Structures are given as C-alpha cells and as structure tokens.
Amino acid sequence: MIIKPEISGVIARSAHPLGCEKAILNQIDYVKHARPITNGPKRVLIIGASSGFGLAARIALTFGGAQADTIGVSFERGPSDKGVGSAGFYNNLYFREHAQNEGRIAINIDGDAFSTQTKESVIEAIETYFEGEVDLIIYSVASGLRPNYQTGEMWRSAIKPIGQAVAGASVSLEHDQWLESTLEPATEQEIDGTLKVMGGEDWEAWVDTLINSESIAEGCKTVAFSYIGSDLTHPIYLDGTLGRAKVDLHQTSHALNLKLANFSGGAYASVCKALVTKASVFIPGLTPYLIALYKVMKQNGTHEGCIEQMQRLFTTKLYGCDKVPVDGERLIRIDDLELNPETQAQVHQLVESMNANNFQKLGDYAGLKQEFMQLNGFGLAGIDYNKKVDIQNIISKYNCLADSLL
C-alpha cells in the first residue's frame, strides 16, 4: 500500500514505516559523529521510549559512546484493519533492529507504564537480560490519561491556566491556520487530575518498585524530563496545570535523590528546550512561540532537536563530569541556549509581530511543520513516498526479531 500523511488538527493519523527507520538512522549517524558519552551507563531502563526525548535518549546511550543495553517501555499501536499503526511502533521495531546489529541488547516492552503488570514485566526483563540491576532509569512518559488500577477511576490531564482565563493563539497543523482562542481556568478536579497524570507519583512508584525488587545497581541514577520555558509561555505552562505538575515532578526528584543516595546514586529533573514532540503540539499557545524560537535559534546557530539535547545532556551533565551540575533548585538546565537573554529578546520581538496573516513568513512555520511530519516518518530525504510499502513483510520482521530474544 502507498502510505500518505493524514493529520487531524495536531494529531497524525498515519505513519510511514520506512520514514521512521530513516529518522532513526539519521539520529544514530548524529550521535556517532558527536562528542562521545564517557563513563556512561551500561544497563538502561527508559520508561516512555518510543518517541521524543525518550527515544533520543535511547539512541544516544546506545550509539553515542556509552554502548548501553536498553529496556524500553511504551504503549504503541501496531498495524491493523484500522490503520498502519503509530510511528512509535515502528520506532521501537527499527531501533531494536539496528541496536541488535551492533551487538546491543534492546528489549521492547509494550504496555501501560502506569500499570503494576508492566512494572512486573520490566522486573522480569531486568532479571533476564541485565543480571538483575539497572544503572540508569529514564522517565519520559507523556500521556493524557492515567488509570487508577485499584478503583477503576480514570485520571485525566487538562492543559489549562489556573485562576483566570488566558487568551492566545495556536496553529492547526492540519490546515496551516492561525487560531485565536481563550482558555478558561482549570477546575480543582482538572488540576488534581493533571498532577496525577503528569506529576512525579508514577516516577517514584517505578523507582520504589525497582528498589524493592533489588534491581538498583550501585551508582544508579534516574532522570525525568521537564520544561520551564520563557515568560511568553508561563501563563499557559508554568503558571497553569502543567507547571503545577512539573513542580511536583521537581519535588519528587528530591525525594528520590535521598532514596538513591543509599546506592551512591542520584535523581534529577532535567529542564529541556521547547521542541516539537507528539506531546508539545497539544499545548495551546506554545506553537507561535516555537515558530519564533526556531527562526531565531536557527539564525543564531544554536538550535537543537531532541537528539542534540540528549547527547549534550549525557556528555556534559549526567556523565563525563565529577559532579552533576544543577541550579539552585537542583535542576539540570539543558534549556540554557533557549533562555539566553539575547535569544529571548529576539523571540519576544518576533512573537509580538506575528499574526494570522504573516506567521508563516515571519516565523519558521515550515521548519516546525517539517519536524512534525518527520516525527511520523514523512518528509525525509531518501524515501520514495510514492512506492508501496509491504506492511506484512515489516510485521514478519518484527515477529522474527521478537523470536530472536526468546
């Protein structure tokens, strides 16, 4: 079948398998030629490994100098009569293939990261493939829902301001259209739900589970990804429900740091740069800021994608230095280039000038849209998108790779 891009609002309804593989190969090529990770971890668990920062971290640690073996947890949709499946499904497939080709262990566990059953499957995999211990735990879960498996309740996140309504613009990636809207403030139930889904509770549950199963190696670290951003995004992000959840995540890092101190390890929240990911495109008001930020940082030669951010995190922050550098709140700041004062001044000026008639001309909307398409395997050089794709052959390869690990 010939696979074409399908977008509904900001959601990709299709993915191109060969494009997903090409995107993986491009990232592998980058880290192989970048500054290598030194004294890195060898046995890594990535919770949320199929896209964005989680996938980039997995690629960097496997191919970027550390030569790590990995277990990746994700909840993805494979091909069926309803569609070709999600990009994350193919990312997992092709990552594992190329990691195994270089002699690395790469275990994919498909399941809800919030469930006890998934945690038990990971413990079993650690016992089987990692001699019972992990050296690094990466928490990179982006979800809008979290089931409460004890009560059957479903917690839901809401991306809203707190206290008062906020007016702003967003962009429909489906229609390339600037949209003005007003977001009403969140209810207490929505604030609590967002905290449950996006806060630090499940991260702590994962680490506690690993401690209780004696799966923590000496010197083990854990890191979760966060965002603070510019004052341009604070009303909807930092001062809203998402910001409240991120504060909880930061506080969780302190509690986990005390627990991992018993293993001569540590826990950190890493504040990353604003980027196009499957999660970030849902945040109202962020897209105009991203369009301006991309334009300015590319002009200044400081733009980084997920893979550049992760390679820099592991070479200059978490590993390769005597002490992990943190700010006054014990946060790793990998958003330093974004928040450079001169960069922000230029971004402010650009955002103030943009509107529905000129945003594509003034900002880097084309670059943002291209990154979004590439997240789903489209728009990559070297792929013939008019050529039929044999999905069944890909599934056969998937099954063969799975069997090779048994």
CA distances from 275 to 82, 307, 371 (A): 30, 11, 9
Amino acid identity, residue 32? K
Q: Closest Cα partner for 115 from 75, 156, 72?
A: 75
What whole-number distance in Å separates Cα of residue 388 and Cα of residue 326? 49
Residue 48 assigned to a binding site: yes
145 is in an annotated binding site: no
The model's pLDDT over 342-370, given as tens digits with 9 standing for 90+, comes to 999 999 999 999 999 999 999 999 999 99
The per-residue DSSP string of 125-186 comes to: HHHHHSTT-EEEEEE----SEEE-TTT--EEE----BSSS-EEEEEEETTTTEEEEEEEPPP
Strands 11-12 and 43-47: unpaired
Phi, psi (degrees; rounded to nearest 5) at 395: -65, -40
CA distance 257 to 268: 7
pLDDT of residue 399 exceeding 90, the answer is no
The most distant pair of C-alpha atoms in the chain lies apart, rounded to whole Å, by 59
Q: Is 44 annotated as a binding residue?
A: no
- Is 52 within any annotated ligand binding site? yes
Annotated binding residue at 243? no
Give the Cβ contact number of residue 94 at 10 Å: 23
227: annotated binding-site residue? yes
Q: What is the mean pLDDT of residues 289-316?
A: 97
Cβ atoms of residues 363 and 169 within 8 Å = no
Rounded to the nearest integer, the mean pLDDT of the chain is 93
142 labelled ligand-binding = yes
Statement: 7-158+190-274+321-335+377-404 belongs to CATH 3.40.50.720:
yes
Residue 169 phi, psi (nearest 5) = -115, 150
pLDDT tier for residue 283 given thresholds of 50, 70 and 90:
confident
Question: What is the DSSP secondary structure assignment for residue 342, as one 8-state letter?
Answer: H
Q: Domain spans of the chain?
A: 7-158+190-274+321-335+377-404
Output the CA torsion 276→282→288→291 (10° steps): 10
For the annotated catalytic residues, the residue numbers are: 237
Window from 46-60, 227-241, 322-336, 385-399 with minimum mean pLDDT: 385-399
pTM of the model: 0.95
pLDDT for 403 beyond 50: no
In eight-state DSSP terms, residue 83 is B
Q: Distances from the Cα of 134 to the Cαs of 214, 215, 220, 227, 323, in angstroms?
A: 10, 6, 7, 26, 20
Residues counted in the chain:
406
User: pLDDT exceeding 70 applies to what percent of the chain?
Assistant: 97
Annotated binding residue 345: no
Q: For the segment 138-188, what is each residue's pLDDT rounded down to a tens digit?
A: 999 988 899 988 888 899 999 899 999 998 888 889 999 998 888 899 999
